[in-house]
């Protein structure tokens, strides 16, 4: 997703602790998403995030998911990721953190 030459990504609440993440996950988008997600997740007992709308990612996207998991664990929440794009799965595999994302 691009708007005026700027990469876009968004976290959409689907209700009842369910979210959809879409767009490009990179260094230009994840800082805003990190704060937005932490704010929304803090009010919930658990969260499920559908990543089928992620169109591209790099290691910043993987770091975002790991940081969300860390925050969830600190709050005593369970966070689950679904429909991880192959690019993200490959990054997790070579970084040896694949089990974190599938737990």
Count of domains observed in the chain: 1
- Please give the mean pLDDT across all residues of the chain: 92
Question: Residue 96's domain is classified under what CATH number?
Answer: 3.30.750.24
The Cα-based distances of 89 to 16, 38, 64 in angstroms read 26, 22, 14
**Nearest by Cα to 71 from 25, 103, 39:** 39
56 lies in which domain range? 2-102
The span from the CA of 58 to the CA of 14, in Å, is: 25
Query: Average pLDDT, stretch 20-36?
Result: 96
What does pTM read for this prediction? 0.91
User: 15 - beta bridge partners?
Assistant: 18
Instruction: Collect all residues with Cβ–Cβ distance below 8 Å to 12 and sequence separation of at least 6.
Output: 19, 20, 21, 22
């Amino acid at each position: 997703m691009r708007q005026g030459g700027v990469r876009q990504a968004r976290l959409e609440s689907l209700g009842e602790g369910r979210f959809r993440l879409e767009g490009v996950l990179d260094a230009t988008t994840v800082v805003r998403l990190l704060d937005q997600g932490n704010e929304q997740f803090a009010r919930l007992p658990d969260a499920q995030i559908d990543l089928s709308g992620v169109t591209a990612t790099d290691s910043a996207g993987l770091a975002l998911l790991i940081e969300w998991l860390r925050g969830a664990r600190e709050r005593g929440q369970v966070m689950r990721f679904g429909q991880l794009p192959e690019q993200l799965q490959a990054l997790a595999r070579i970084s040896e953190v694949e089990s974190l994302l599938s737990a």
